[in-house]
Structure 1
Amino acid sequence: MTDHADLLANLADIDPQSPLAAARHTRNAATEHAQGSYDVLFGQDDKDFPLAERYWFATRVAGWHGQQALEHHYEQLAGELSDTPRIQEAEAFARRLTFEPVEAAPQHIAHLTLAGWSERGIVTLAQLVAFVSFQSRLLAGLHLLQDQEVTTSPEPVLAGRWHNAPLTASGKTALTAFTQKELGWEPWLAAKPLTAFTPDEQATLARNGHSDSDYFRLLGRNLPLLEQRTLTDKGIFYTAGGLPRAERELAATVVSKVNGCIYCASVHARKASQLSKQNSDVERLLQTAPGAVLSAGQSARWQAIIDFSAALSVTPPRATQQQISALRDLALDELALLDLVQSTAFFAWANRLMLTLGEPFVPAE
């Protein structure tokens, strides 16, 4: 990837000769496909979600995250929008998704539909808000890795709340506690039937293992964006060296606890347990009550990882230079720190889609 095509490197003013630039080069797949996601999202100009609107919403989300350079980038490209019910409903949706994704409910999808949003438009809007949430945290982390202080909040981030309704929208048994068990997930917006995809699109879904998943066939309503997101995910989590995979999965679990995403936490806590062989420590994290300190009772290394991931996960992010220094003191090198930033930032994206477009359920035995 050439420097001029790397938006985050430009906004973070990364020295091409720096250890951080070398680490990002090592993680080239993540770097390339994070940019690729941006290129797809802002390279489309669908009539149901025009490009000028996309830039306008991206400006709002970046501003809510306190990322001034990213906000300015999008603002320069945004158009002036009329204050219509369609835009008002979408802005409310975007604000909720940015600050309190766990507040999302089926009626919010219905409100967008009534306001004139198509199924593809709703999926793309959710992807845009979630992507800029990822982008904002990644940018904050890149600044911190260059010793550029972002914030100085000493207070630990606490466990967030989660859904407590006993039944899902369709009447299945819902989840009211975090678990490592395998769960189902039902969409609030219809997944696209497999037969509605072209043969080439079906091949793309199959190549990524997405054919039988309601979640991925729902995101497949904007398949080029889904494909770049999937490749970003793989570039962050499925790579050798750097931060051990178990601790990348730990970071994903922490973010899911902050955001209240029981489904994502179940998948990634299970992986963290399997890979680390520290099931009791993962369970301690999962069972942290709302309002309690997420890192309580953990080892020094896991405390530092959990505190940093949690602080980077709130809106706006509250991660600090002091937390990065603590991680360096625990022998995390530049590549491991980049892995931690990217794993944490990615689940700002993943949680927001899972929480906004559907909900988990307990599968029938």
Structure 2
Amino acid sequence: MIDAIDKAAGLKPDDALFHARRFRTEFVDGAEACRRSVLTPEHDLGLNAALRLALARRIAALNDDSPLIAEYDALLAEQQPDGSLLALAAGESALPEPLATLGRHSDLITLTPDRADADAIRRLEQAGLNNPQIVALSELIAFVNFQTRVAAGLRLMRSA
């Protein structure tokens, strides 16, 4: 099975790196399970799939990851998002709440995680997010940043 990281890295079943990833199938399976759980969880906690995909696309763009941007664009389009979610995905900042706060927080954690502090969490709470939603948002941000880094590393290995 080709997973999302294989797709983002451009790996195919006949590539040596594709098989090298399968030496530790628990990592491949775990990454794919994590992807599903942060993008389309069984219980979305009020953070629907379109919102999650818009944020994922935004984070992929912050990481300048063209293959993942394209992947998230396609997945987001399937959700038929409204204009505000498309603006969030595109990295815009002039957004209605809570989207503006979600975008700023995603940018902060992706670009300057060392600047994150308790005030960042308070801003999410002030925007109306509860603790389970903040945890879910944190998991989403962490996963997409992880995904971009693993895919970038695999692309580098492939080009060597």
TM-score by length of 2: 0.84
* Matched residue SS, 1:15: coil
In structure 2, C-alpha distance between the alignment counterparts of 1:8 and 1:27, rounded to whole Å: 14
Match of residue 158 from structure 2: 146
How many Å apart are 1:49 and its aligned residue?
A: 1.0
In structure 2, C-alpha distance between the alignment counterparts of 1:60 and 1:42, rounded to whole Å: 13
Q: Is the 8 A contact 2:45 2:133 kept in 1?
A: no
Runs of 4+ in 1 over 4 A off after TM superposition: none
Letter in 2 for 1:30: F
Question: Are residue 37 (structure 1) and residue 37 (structure 2) matched?
Answer: no
* Matched residue SS, 2:98: helix
How many Å apart are 1:107 and its aligned residue?
A: 1.3
In structure 1, C-alpha distance between the alignment counterparts of 2:45 and 2:152, rounded to whole Å: 33
Segments of structure 1 that go 5 or more residues without pairing to the other structure are: 148-320, 322-365
Q: Deviations over 1:137-196 (max 9, x none)?
A: 11101111111xxxxxxxxxxxxxxxxxxxxxxxxxxxxxxxxxxxxxxxxxxxxxxxxx
In structure 2, C-alpha distance between the alignment counterparts of 1:118 and 1:48, rounded to whole Å: 10
Match of residue 124 from structure 1: 136
In structure 2, C-alpha distance between the alignment counterparts of 1:95 and 1:13, rounded to whole Å: 26
Q: Deviations over 1:8-61 (max 9, x none)?
A: 112322132332122111011111111110011122252521111000000000
Segments of structure 2 that go 5 or more residues without pairing to the other structure are: 85-94
In structure 2, C-alpha distance between the alignment counterparts of 1:116 and 1:135, rounded to whole Å: 28
Query: Which structure has the highest helix share of the two?
Result: 2
In structure 1, C-alpha distance between the alignment counterparts of 2:120 and 2:64, rounded to whole Å: 25
Q: Is the 8 A contact 1:41 1:128 kept in 2?
A: yes
Q: Deviations over 1:225-257 (max 9, x none)?
A: xxxxxxxxxxxxxxxxxxxxxxxxxxxxxxxxx
How many Å apart are 1:63 and its aligned residue?
A: 0.4
Question: Are residue 17 (structure 1) and residue 14 (structure 2) matched?
Answer: yes
Residues 124 and 47 of structure 1: CA distance in aligned 2, closer, same or farther (over 3 Å): closer
Q: 1:58 aligns with which of 56, 59, 63?
A: 56
Over the aligned positions, Cα root-mean-square deviation in angstroms equals 1.5
Match of residue 71 from structure 2: 73
Sequence identity (%): 27
